[in-house]
Structure 1
Amino acid sequence: MNHRLMVSDPAIRKQLQLAGLRFVYTRARWLASEARVIGIQLKNNKITAAEADAMLDELGALDLVYPELMGCRE
């Protein structure tokens, strides 16, 4: 594969990969926490379905809930 940006030093590449994986892992944990809060609020009627959709949209997760919306935004 030919990439525009390549790191040829294996040690630096590994450090960048590890940093990227740490970021992805912490981001996933944060997203799980946010989803849990929304789910509890929705289940306990503290928010409406429309409010839950708005919160999911803010998180960029609405397409995960409604796959038919993927790529259909204006």
Structure 2
Amino acid sequence: MNHRLMVSDPAIRKQLQLAGLRFMASRAEWLQCEARIIFRQLQHDKITSAQVDARLEELGALDLVYPELMRDA
């Protein structure tokens, strides 16, 4: 079974890929900014570890921080 997106026009496929990559890069920048904020808050005891976990869950990033715990999820 073929799971790839099927776009027959190479120019359209390239435009879709460029748009997707732009979105991915902007999402990565946003996530990096959020991580820095949380890092500083935790480092300076402005939030608890439980609050960090809750925020990571909201961001959908628990699997990035705790990959060994998320394998069976």
TM-score using structure 2 length? 0.89
Q: Please list the CA deviations of residues 42-62 of structure 1 after superposition, one character each: whole Å capped at 9, or x if unmatched.
A: 001000000011001111111
Aligned to 2:20: 20
Deviation at 1:12, TM superposition (A): 0.4
SS at 1:46's partner residue? Answer: coil
**Structure 2 unaligned runs (5+)?**
none
1:62 aligns with 2:62: yes
Flag as ranges the 4+ runs of structure 1 deviating above 3 A.
none
TM-score using structure 1 length? 0.88
SS at 1:34's partner residue? Answer: helix
Q: How many residues align?
A: 73
SS at 1:18's partner residue? Answer: helix
Of all paired residues, the percent bearing the same amino acid is: 73
Q: Please list the CA deviations of residues 15-54 of structure 1 after superposition, one character each: whole Å capped at 9, or x if unmatched.
A: 0000000000000000000000000000010000000110
- CA RMSD, Structure 1 to Structure 2 (Å): 1.6
